[in-house]
Amino acid sequence: MPTRPNVLLIVIDQFRADLLRDGPLGAVAQLPNLRALMREAVSFDNHFSVVAPCGPSRVSLLTGQYAMNHRAVRNGTPLRHDTPNLATATRTAGYAPQLFGYTDTAQDPRVLEPDDPRLASYEELMHGFDEAVRMRMESGDAAWRAHLQAQGITLPDYPDTYRPAGDRIDDPAQYPAEHSDTAFLTDCFLERMGTAEPGWFGLLTYIRPHPPLVAPDPYNRMYDPARMPPPATGALEHPFLAPARDKQAPSSMVVGFPDLERSEATTAALRALYLGLASEVDHHIGRVMDWLKSSGQWDDTILVVTADHGEMLGDFGLWGKGTFHDAAFHVPLIIRDPVRPEMHGQAVAGMTESIDVPVTLLDRLGIDVPHAMNGQSLLPHLADTDTPGRACAVSEYDFGNPVSPTAWMRHLGLASNEANFAVLRTRQHRLVQFAAELPPILFDMTGDGEGRDLSGESGAESIFLDLTRKMLCHRMRNPEGTFARTMVGDGGVRTGNE
């Protein structure tokens, strides 16, 4: 391996971890390339994103900070311009991180003019990255459109770009598979990196299987809805859920079907489309893997595959990622370090978090980890998969909006600073704590799981108290850390690691 290895971080949007695990969805999902990678890498079975949705989750994934610290908690909430991240840190070691896709980073308005066009969309670039190809779903897919026009294909404006070509939700997309957004992005990556000098850094971010759920032929009917496993169900009722179900109806997952009914048939059809898009992404990740091998770079490249957050897929009557259930936060993490072939094919059972990814890469590359990062290095797990994981994993979700009140704010009478929750997970339990005066929720994952709230039942008081204490301790132990280890005094500026 060269002195400085290549680094490739692949982020799949809205990809559930259980597609790659034993279970109902994993049994039907056709993902041969990701499964092959798992046999040549270390997988993390209990890996969780620390926040949703897209913008906040990518900020945490790339800055190594909890949302409670970086505070870019919504799509459109600005990130402080001086926040260190994976790209800025790796530049200190000579890398020039190339972005293929998007980071969804709302810009800091304090350092831009009021009429700067970068303040017109949250789909902007995180500082430190070089944008190799501009590929943004809502505000910047000109390169893909130009490519399609060269093929004689003209698409309508967003969101009708993602309306099926026919009258059914499983009709094919308006573009063929060889020219889809996923195929185009992969083509751009292979063309650009095919001439890159050794020691490159790539961030490749696939928008699929994020909705709108529309797939090119043959992926639109690759899966039979009649063979789709049914969604999880339960008796849980909570004030949060009514507006969540109203906002995240099945019709929100597609374009052009505002009256799409809630039914078992609709759920099965949408699940089949989602899996089709997941299989399309898997195919193109396979192309990337084949290129790394054929170009002789497979054993010179640290390869990481993960997702920004999950997707409910109709579980408990919910769609999207705006809820407290595990499916919204449980994501895959696969790390292939070529210098540890003896560990390939193994899996880590301990809990890990998305903020651990940048810290792990920096640690592996021998680059100082910025003190602002809250994550933990996973290198010990890559050396010994029995290394204990985190005692708990925490995720956050902000369902407010200070400018335009959300469905939850209107329905529940909440201020924007009340509209958020945190989830603390241990191996056995899940605690959901709301900022507002809403009832907390307690799940026992070894019993009825997320279908039953135990918080009001006899005997749950001690569990509830213990998890509440853990959540408070977690917040106190993980403050925003820019200057947390810095002291100024007679000796000038000094920094410690204690």
How far is Cα 138 from Cα 158, in angstroms, rounded to an integer? 6
Tokens of 267: 């759920």
How far is Cα 120 from Cα 2, in angstroms, rounded to an integer? 42
Query: Active-site residues: which are they?
Result: 54
- The 3-state DSSP composition of the chain as helix, strand, coil percent (nearest 5) reads 35, 15, 50
3-state DSSP call for residue 10? strand
How far is Cα 189 from Cα 192, in angstroms, rounded to an integer? 5
* Burial class of 47 by CB neighbour count within 10 A (0 to 12, 13 to 18, 19+): buried
How far is Cα 20 from Cα 102, in angstroms, rounded to an integer? 24
3-state DSSP call for residue 186? helix
Encode 193-208: b = buried (16+ Cβ within 10 Å), e = exposed. Answer: beeeeebbbbbbbbbb
Q: Which residues contact 87 (CB under 8 A, 6 or more apart)?
A: 62, 97, 126, 127, 128, 129, 201, 203
3-state DSSP call for residue 444? strand
Pairing of strands 301-307, 6-12: parallel
How far is Cα 237 from Cα 258, in angstroms, rounded to an integer? 26
H helix count then E strand count, the chain = 13, 15
